[in-house]
Structure 1
Amino acid sequence: MLGLDDLDTNSENVIIGMIDIYKAIIDEFKPDGFRIDTVKHVNTEFWQAFSPALMAHAKSLGIENFFMFGEVYSFDAKELSSFTTKAKLPSVLDFALQGAIRSALVEQKGSDELANLFAQDHFYQTNHKDIENTNANQLVNFTGNHDMGRFAYFLKESKHNYSEQEQIQRNLPANAMLFFTRGVPVIYYGDEQGFVGDGGDQDSRQDMMPSNVDSYNNDDLLATNKTTADNNFDTSHLFYQTFAKYAELYQQYPKALRFGQQTTLYSQNKPGVFAIQRVAMIQGEEQTLVIVFNTSSQVQSLNVLTKSQTEKRLYQSIANTKGELSPLSFAIYQLK
């Protein structure tokens, strides 16, 4: 980091010392895992030693689901994947997915933006001998963060001049994509309270408790009359309630939505239908979910999807006429 002394991470003594430090942290605090900042600024050989050692140590202590993910600020899936394949980290923050969601729902590019990204998921497949193998289901999904800013801010500053209602409408499917496409969903704190912010870095780090920061308190929060000068732990907020429903569905169908193989069924070169299939084996039986998003502000026909099996609709975010999908909505179906 700028202004701090560098450690020689090429030195074997430094590698051993850093591993010992973090083993001691695991010993004492038994954390669920680590987020590792700015991993691309450290040589690959360091991570190749550090990551397997800590994963094995946590497992030896009975922390079976210990998880580490790195921050690699890149929108290139091939570059991101090199840190799970070559550098042997279990996962990274999926900046490439953030970019694709932003392209589709903020910039109004085609749903092909999403399909093109997911077509690169094979880059994340690993075949390690010393640690568990990884795939795209372990990537960490997000729409915005403390450095780049919030998704709501991108919508506010868009050249499309979205109204507040349109910003609310586009926030919801963006977050649904975190839960129902492959990867691990992460909500940046405050997004569930409609926080917007004035940009990246410190401008997107608003207080949840009543704030005294003027640049925070002049924000027009979404779907609420509150400002950050108020207490913002409102479990009745539209976003909180909606994200809670997404989480409930995610937990209700964990095999397909957490571990299921994802395939793109349909996309187009303009805003509209984006459909994926998630398939998992459960006690020898296949469970297949189809999730269909409408990234357009217009009603879309579902006739583009060929149905060879009977489907049961599990959820729709906005009521729609049969065979159609309402604007900026999504639906989840289970194939029988």
Structure 2
Amino acid sequence: LDDLFTENPKVVDGMIEIYKSWVDFGIDGFRIDTVKHVDLPFWQRFGPAIMEHAKAKGRDDFFMFGEVYDTSPGTMSLYSTSGRLPGTLDFGFQSTAVDYAMGNSAKQLQELYAGDNAYLDADSNAYSLTTFLGNHDMGRIGSFLVGASDDDVDLLKRDRLAMSLMYLSRGQPVTYYGDEQGFVGWGGDKDSRQDMFTTRVEQYAEDAIIGGTPGARDYYGTDVPVYQHIAALTKLRADHPALANGIQIERFAADGEGVYAFSRIDRESNVEYLVAVNNAKDPQAVRVATATPGAAFASVFGSGEGATSGTDGSLEVTVPGQEALVLKAGAAIPAALHPPTVTAVKAGNGGPLTGQAKLTADVAPGAPVEVTFAGRPKGTGEWTVLGTDDNPAYGRYLDTSAVVPGDYEVVAVARTLDGKVGYASASTTVAAGAEGGTQVTAPGSYQAKAGCSGDWQPDCTATTLTDPDGDGTYTLELTG
């Protein structure tokens, strides 16, 4: 921040030593505030140094995530890819999940998860994101939902639906204190900090309580509706680890209010779970694809019933209104009949690669696969692993500022769950330009119209300048 000279190497070294001591003390991790207001090179040194120290101390479960107050994957992912932090707070999920719980289109969830490739690199991905529904700055989930709810019963259903989506989808869920007690608040950073003990603040005593009644009393109950719902979700994740860390593959998204469905696949047993949420008030029947044909899917969560998939893997399910349904296949996904076919690998838009260049791989339909991208300067022997994508559309962004300009090769290796492999490669050229992680941007009042989430954002990749001729002249072409 402005009062600390974080560009000075001595300051960086000092900060690293300070926070190493907290690791030694035994804390579980860091939630890092205001990350995007500190220069990127600071995080590029700080993140790896702290994580390496934690690993050396036997703290393999140590974790850090940064607050990047932005909903754009391009902005948030900058700090977990180029910035080398393990993860960031997923403000995109927060915004989209709340909108969905309020009754908006399931297509918004589809768009959210379609941006996950931005977070993919060799040591992190969207599964590392910290998901949440509200916090001390913006307000509680209840304060967002109360205006969209017909009555107290409807409010409780919407709240539980949002919690279900957070706990059953990719990412690491965080519940803001008091949400489990049904706190609502008035939103903002001053009206969402209610006392858990008996309050003397009149406003807090009069605040609505989801699933309960207002009042000045202690709020530590384990028998209240929202607490019990969250407890059931956490037990479900513990009993079925695939719901916490399994592969997530989209299966269905209603064009409007209704069902969003996705598979979670256990990476050890290859057993598939189908998760379906429904924000409509009435039950919705949908037919979805699965990777497990001819299997009985039993209900393990929700009031809905199980179903049996057809020989083509399709499954017809009815999802109760404003609920989540989780089904578990009674058999593992069958072994692939043949190796996967990677039909094409594409790098950028056909010209020399600049900025954050998109790499994609087209894989013929079939069994689920994981696609690992790797690259190298043409003619060299060492491949650098760029990341592994486990759900379509398969892709990854290449930070060309970290690559030596010149001819470049990309390979995409697809692997089925039972180990069959197929691959394809492509050649391209990395343009001369900013190297060593340097990013040149032109912050200004035009950035929101140019694709950034707001104006005056020096870290927005949508307005990155490039030096295609390698002569030190950086340009940005804008139209419209």
Relative to the length of structure 1, the TM-score reads 0.91
Q: Computing the radius of gyration over CA atoms, which structure comes out larger, 1 or 2?
A: 2
Which of 38, 46, 49 aligns to 1:50? It is: 46
Counterpart for residue 382 of structure 2: none
Counterpart for residue 114 of structure 1: 109
Which of 203, 225, 241 aligns to 1:215? It is: 203
Offset, 1:223: 0.8
Show the 5 A alignment for 1:31-70: 31-70=27-66
Are the equivalent residues in 1 in contact too, given 2:20–2:53 (CA < 8 A)? yes
Are the equivalent residues in 2 in contact too, given 1:316–1:329 (CA < 8 A)? no
Are the equivalent residues in 2 in contact too, given 1:83–1:92 (CA < 8 A)? yes
Which amino acid in 2 is paired with 1:17? G
Tell me the SS of whatever aligns to 2:271. Answer: strand
Paired with 2:264 and 2:74, the residues of 1 have a C-alpha distance of: 23
Which of 299, 302, 306 aligns to 1:314? It is: 299
Q: How many residues align?
A: 320
Show the 5 A alignment for 1:132-281: 133-158=123-148, 161-227=149-215, 229-254=216-241, 256-281=242-267
Counterpart for residue 126 of structure 1: 121
Percent sequence identity over matched residues?
36
Paired with 1:249 and 1:321, the residues of 2 have a C-alpha distance of: 17
Offset, 1:199: 1.0
Are the equivalent residues in 2 in contact too, given 1:173–1:293 (CA < 8 A)? yes
Q: Deviations over 1:207-236 (max 9, x none)?
A: 111111122111021111243x21000000
Tell me the SS of whatever aligns to 2:117. Answer: helix
Tell me the SS of whatever aligns to 1:249. Answer: helix
Counterpart for residue 22 of structure 1: 19
Are the equivalent residues in 2 in contact too, given 1:209–1:232 (CA < 8 A)? yes
Paired with 1:280 and 1:112, the residues of 2 have a C-alpha distance of: 26
Q: Give the direction of change, closer, same or farther, for the CA distance of 1:316–1:252 in structure 2 (3 Å limit).
A: closer
Q: Give the direction of change, closer, same or farther, for the CA distance of 1:237–1:186 in structure 2 (3 Å limit).
A: same
Counterpart for residue 90 of structure 1: 86
Tell me the SS of whatever aligns to 2:190. Answer: helix
Counterpart for residue 328 of structure 1: 322
Which amino acid in 2 is paired with 1:334? K
Paired with 2:265 and 2:270, the residues of 1 have a C-alpha distance of: 7
Counterpart for residue 367 of structure 2: none
Offset, 1:63: 1.3
Offset, 1:321: 9.5
Offset, 1:184: 0.7
Which amino acid in 1 is paired with 2:81? T
* Higher strand content, 1 or 2: 2
Paired with 2:294 and 2:116, the residues of 1 have a C-alpha distance of: 27
Which amino acid in 2 is paired with 1:231? D
Which of 1, 4, 9 aligns to 1:7? It is: 4
Offset, 1:305: 5.1
Offset, 1:320: 6.0
Paired with 2:296 and 2:39, the residues of 1 have a C-alpha distance of: 49
When the two chains are superposed, the root-mean-square deviation of aligned CA atoms in Å is 1.7
Paired with 2:77 and 2:68, the residues of 1 have a C-alpha distance of: 10
Which amino acid in 2 is paired with 1:245? A
Are the equivalent residues in 2 in contact too, given 1:137–1:258 (CA < 8 A)? no
Tell me the SS of whatever aligns to 1:69. Answer: strand
Offset, 1:93: 0.8
Paired with 1:259 and 1:330, the residues of 2 have a C-alpha distance of: 18
Tell me the SS of whatever aligns to 2:211. Answer: coil
Are the equivalent residues in 2 in contact too, given 1:266–1:273 (CA < 8 A)? yes
Which amino acid in 2 is paired with 1:313? A
Relative to the length of structure 2, the TM-score reads 0.64
Q: Deviations over 1:16-43 (max 9, x none)?
A: 111111112222x211101000100001
Paired with 2:78 and 2:134, the residues of 1 have a C-alpha distance of: 22
Paired with 1:296 and 1:222, the residues of 2 have a C-alpha distance of: 20
Paired with 2:185 and 2:5, the residues of 1 have a C-alpha distance of: 38
Offset, 1:202: 1.8
Paired with 1:19 and 1:92, the residues of 2 have a C-alpha distance of: 19
Are the equivalent residues in 2 in contact too, given 1:313–1:331 (CA < 8 A)? no
Which amino acid in 1 is paired with 2:118? F
Which consecutive residues of structure 2, in runs of 5 or more, have no partner in the other structure?
Answer: 308-316, 332-480
Which consecutive residues of structure 1, in runs of 5 or more, have no partner in the other structure?
Answer: 128-132
Tell me the SS of whatever aligns to 1:56. Answer: helix
